[in-house]
Structure 1
Amino acid sequence: MSRFHGTTLRLVRDMGPLSRTELMGEMGVSSPSLTKIANRLVEAGLLHEGGKRDEVNFGRPRQYLDLAETGWRVACVSLMPGRLEVGIADKDARVLLARRFDLDCSAIQALAMVPDALRALQAELDLGDDRIAGLCLTLPGHVDLEGRRLLAVSRPGWGEGPLIEVLEAALPWPVTLENKVTAMAFAEAVRARRADHHTMLYLYLDQGLGAAFIREGRGAAFSGRDALELGHIRVETPGRPCECGLSGCFETVLTADMIRSSDHEILGGAWPLVAQQFANIVNLLSPERVVLGGGLAQLSPEVRGSLGDAILAQVMPHARARTEFRPSLLGPDATLQGAAAVALDRFTIREEPYEPQIRASGFAFPVFRTGDFGVVSADPL
């Protein structure tokens, strides 16, 4: 299948049900060409015609193309020190069922738990192996562009080993890796209908402080690029010790415990420094939207508003009016939704075949690659 098939799937995924006329305008193709493309995707079971939108129509009801409900299932796994999450998600990266485990073991030992957990979820959902397109594992660290190797970890001594090989040896599906925060940022961008904004900065606070910058860019395949170590920028000297081995890192100043604390003096005392560092990254990247995830999303509207005001006061004047702050849309399943969004993108909406994984698994699902989201930076939280 051509690149137009992947582009069609991407547009329907990102913009919701679309008419054939709307798709022709977005893609710049003729009516006969669009008919061939759409019919091929409908025949493959990837699109269905008959999707609805909330609108008032006069006369004959309009027909819209939407992603088909069947066949769009992916396995999603999130692994970090002390925690393992395993789930199965649908075509919208919404988690259908999940299991969570507290850990006291290495990453390799934790991954040995994944096959049994997924088999239990499959049984509960009555899903055969042929209904799952692939699996994405997200974790802290730098991941290579192909999503096959963990290049470096931010917590020394954790995460090394043949992660992909362990999962692919035990499961019948292709597997890909992605940085946890990068994956959540991608899911956030897709969920928010990226046509509204072309650049987005995602800030995430949990065990540490992470960030990812999303931009829309044709021709740049979606994957982690150079890591942005936002949580490990040194902001205090000498500062408190950090798990990375340094001291005074940003994530020792801004912590999830501090956000949850009822001691407003502690929070207020750190706020000027926090606002200054966030303003620095906004000045550097000039995002149109800043999304607060994890613990930052739990801030009250009043506190979140005051933080946004404090950040904007230190942002370049020309950028203030165009920068929007809001909490994440993903909710409690954010980490698994991130993994699911990446799995859907890599295993169901590719423009060129993902041959190594197809051959290894025997999986016959039509595979495309969109290549339209560029993630240019991510903190390996």
Structure 2
Amino acid sequence: MNSNSSVKGRGAQKNTNNKFSAYSYETRDDFLEFCRVEGEIADRNKTQYIPVFPKTIVNKVTSPDVGMSYSMNMYQGCEHGCIYCYARNAHEFWGYSAGLDFERKIMVKHDAPKLLEAKLRSKSWKPSTIVLSGNTDCYQPAEQEFQITRKCLEIFLKYRHPVGIITKNALILRDLDILKELNEYGLVGVNISVTSLSEETRRILEPRTTTIKKRLEAIQVLSEHGIPVNAMLAPIIPGINSHEILSLAKAVSEHGALSMAFTVVRLNGSIGEIFTDWIRKTLPDKAEKVLHQIQECHGGRLNDSRFGLRSRGDGIIATQIHDMVRLAKRKYFEGKTFPKLNTTLHESYKDGQLKLF
């Protein structure tokens, strides 16, 4: 056993240092050898749920190239463990690492439904779509136990307020009853993330996520009930899933998706170190090629903070990805349209029931 041993069932293979902390931590080979000799477990690799109590839950999104105005997150950290996840860096604000801590220390906002209701009842609030999972997946494994997302959906229905959902977990179908009611009023739109059609690729990129088959089935079931679905083919990673764009677009369209969107991977903040460590351990033969191609998409860097370009990329490889996406949209989404959500009902339901006068 050594420091290069795989952390099973996780995306990140180590904890990176928190840039806001004066301390750094290192797992040394001599410590691991001591544990082996003594028969002790150096790392139990367990997920910990930590209750937190924020004062607000709805966040205004000010980034000019993010397609939402407001978001909310019931959980911070995400057990899905997607190695590329941009939200990893946010864990450092809570005093944790963007690496393994992000996947194993999940903060749970039990008061989210109450905070949401207070926001929607506020006299100053004007209805605008609030997106669940602007940062971490609202249907990650923690939701099976805590059901905070379901409780929030009930609040959105009570106040007739539009809600968007981003997820890669088929657990969303548990709430099909509420989603159908929301959709009767044009109040819900769902974004399902499908990163690859290969289970092997899915398993190493997103180790604790729903299988590709289950995600496609979720798109189909939602679509069959008239609930609009946008497929998120994101991120596109050169050398890993960039060759799948057409096949991905075909699959999600055939299962009922009304539109598709994509981003080119960028490894901002600590994610560059986490991803580099992961790919050299997981795909050593491909590692340097993939890293160089990602850099080619971002002016020679893994990280790209340029608004308008950071999620789109530039250069030859990024241009090829964009060309392929345009072809996919023409081929598989011609005539399909994702509807705008209804913002006209909420004012009449500010107090939780229809105002007659």
TM over 0.5: no
**Highest RCO, 1 vs 2 (Cα 8 Å, sep ≥ 6):** 1
Greater strand fraction, Structure 1 or Structure 2:
1
TM-score (norm 2): 0.29
TM-score (norm 1): 0.28
